[in-house]
Amino acid sequence: MNWDEMISSEEDVVRPTHVEVDLGCLAGNLAAIRAYVGGAKVMTVLKANAYGHGLIPVAHHMVKHGADYLGVAFLEEGVLLRKAGISAPILVLGGIAGEQIPLFLKYDLTLTAPSVEKLLLIDSAAATLGKLARVHLKVDTGMERIGIHYYHAEALLKESLKCKHVQVEGIFSHFANADAADLSPARLQLERFQSVLSFYEKHSLPMPLRHIANSAGILQLPESHLDMVRPGILLYGVYPSRECLTSVPVTPALKWKSRVAYFKVVQAGDPVSYGSTWQSDHAVRVVTIPVGYGDGYFRALSNRSQIIVRGVRYPVVGRVCMDQIMVNLDQGTAYNGDEVILLGASEGVSISAADLADWAGTIPYEVLTNINTRVPRLYCGE
C-alpha cells in the first residue's frame, strides 16, 4: 500500500498517527536556498523517501517550483520518479552495478562514474544500446566512500575524454565535515576538488558542472557553491547540526501527529511498560498514544523523549513499544482523542527533529528518514 498516493485529505487518514507535510514550506525553503546561492543551480536531494516526506509528491512539487536537478541515492528511486511522470534531470548519486546500466539509459537517468572501470562499463553499455550516457564524475576528496581519490582523478578525467558514448555533464565531490564548527577539513576538501578541476583549465577544455556543497556547505562555505548546490535536509527545514550556521532561514515542513487513545490512573509503585523501567512514587495520570518503534519512534526514546498535548510538553515513560507509547501527565489533563504532537509545534511549544535526535542519541537525518511508510502522509499547502 502506497500511503503517499492514497492520502490527500484529512478525512482519508485511517490512523490517528500520521505525518503532515506542508508543501508551501518546501517551496519557501527552496526559494530561500536559491536566493542565498545566487546564480548556482539547485539540485533538490530526494533520497530516502525525500527524507521521510514522501518521494513522489515532493518531487512533483520541487519540479513545479523550479528545481534544476533532482538527486536520488539509488536506481530504483530514479525509476519510480520517471514512472510517476517526472521528466526533470535526475542524478543517481550512489554507486552502480554494471548490470544496472541499461536501466539507467532506458529511464534517462544520469549516472555517477566513480572510477575508470565504471566509466568504461557505462561507455560500453551505451555503445551497445546506441545511446549517449549522461554522467557526473565522482571525486573522493576525503569522504572515503565512493569516488576516485583526488590524487588519482586525472586518470578518470583523461579516460572520460576518450569515451565516445558518454557525455560528462558534471563533476562532483562530497563534504565529510562541513557541518562542524571547525571548517578546516572541509576547506581542505574544497581545495583538493579545485586542484582536480584545474585539469580542465590547463587543457583549455570546457568545464563540467561543478558541485560539492551539501546542506552544510551551503550554510557555512559560500565559496563552495560553484555551479550547483545539493540541499538535502536543509530543503526540509532542518539544519544539519547544532554547530551549523543558520545563514538560510528555513521552516520545518513536517509535523508528526497522533491522538490520545487511552487514559488511566496509575497507582504509586505500579511499573509501566516492558521491563518495568519506570514507576511513580505517587498516583499519576497516564495516557497511551498509538505510535511506536514500528513507526520509527525509536525505542531509544524510552524514558527520554517528550510529546505535546494541549500546549504542554509531557514525558514518555516506560519502554517504547512497537505500536504504542505511554505518557505521564502527572496531574495534567488530556482526553481520549486529544491531538498529540510528536514532532512539530503547537500553541507556541515545539519539539524539533534535533530534540528527538538528542534524546535518541542520533542525528536529525535519522529521525526523519526512519518515519515508517506505514505512517500515512498528508499533504497541504502550495
In the numeric block, the cell 572520460 is attached to: 160
Mean pLDDT value across the chain: 96
| pTM for this model (two decimals) | 0.94
Q: Which residues pair with 379 in a beta bridge?
A: 21
Q: Categorize the per-residue pLDDT at 11 as very low, low, confident or very high, splitting at 50, 70 and 90.
A: low
Q: Categorize the per-residue pLDDT at 382 as very low, low, confident or very high, splitting at 50, 70 and 90.
A: confident
In the numeric block, the cell 543551480 is attached to: 41
Average pLDDT over residues 62-80: 98
DSSP secondary structure letters along 21-90: EEHHHHHHHHHHHHHHHTT-EEEEE-HHHHHTT-HHHHHHHHHHTT-SEEEESSHHHHHHHHHTT--S-E
Pick the closest to residue 216 from 176, 252, 250 (CA basis): 176
Distance CA 18, CA 82 (A): 27
Percentage of the chain lying above the pLDDT 70 cut: 96
Q: Which helix (H) or strand (E) holds 194?
A: helix 184-202
Average pLDDT over residues 203-225: 98
Average pLDDT over residues 18-45: 98
Average pLDDT over residues 156-170: 98
Q: Active site residue: 151, 262, 274, 335, which one?
A: 274
Res 280 pLDDT > 70: yes
Distance CA 293, CA 281 (A): 27
Q: Is 47 a catalytic residue?
A: yes
Q: Categorize the per-residue pLDDT at 379 as very low, low, confident or very high, splitting at 50, 70 and 90.
A: very high
- What is the per-residue pLDDT for 98? 84
Q: Active site residue: 47, 118, 138, 257, which one?
A: 47
Average pLDDT over residues 13-20: 85
Dihedral over Cα of 99, 101, 105, 110: its sign? positive
Res 8 pLDDT > 80: no
> Cell digits for 98?
554494471
Q: What Rg do the C-alpha atoms of the chain give, in angstroms?
A: 24
CATH number belonging to domain 254-380: 2.40.37.10
Res 377 pLDDT > 70: yes
pLDDT in tens, 317-354: 999 999 999 999 999 999 999 999 999 999 999 999 99
Pairing of strands 228-229, 209-213: parallel
- What is the per-residue pLDDT for 15? 87
Domain residue extents for the chain = 39-236, 254-380
Q: Is 131 a catalytic residue?
A: no
Q: Categorize the per-residue pLDDT at 12 as very low, low, confident or very high, splitting at 50, 70 and 90.
A: low
Q: Categorize the per-residue pLDDT at 217 as very low, low, confident or very high, splitting at 50, 70 and 90.
A: very high
With beta carbons less than 8 A apart as the criterion, state whether 176 and 189 touch. yes
Amino acid at 268: A
Pairing of strands 284-289, 325-330: antiparallel
Q: Categorize the per-residue pLDDT at 224 as very low, low, confident or very high, splitting at 50, 70 and 90.
A: very high
In CATH, what is the architecture of 39-236?
A: Alpha-Beta Barrel (3.20)
Average pLDDT over residues 3-15: 53
Distance CA 278, CA 356 (A): 20
* Other CB atoms within 10 Å distance of the CB of residue 340: 25
Res 228 pLDDT > 70: yes
Phi/psi at 301 (5° precision): -80, -5
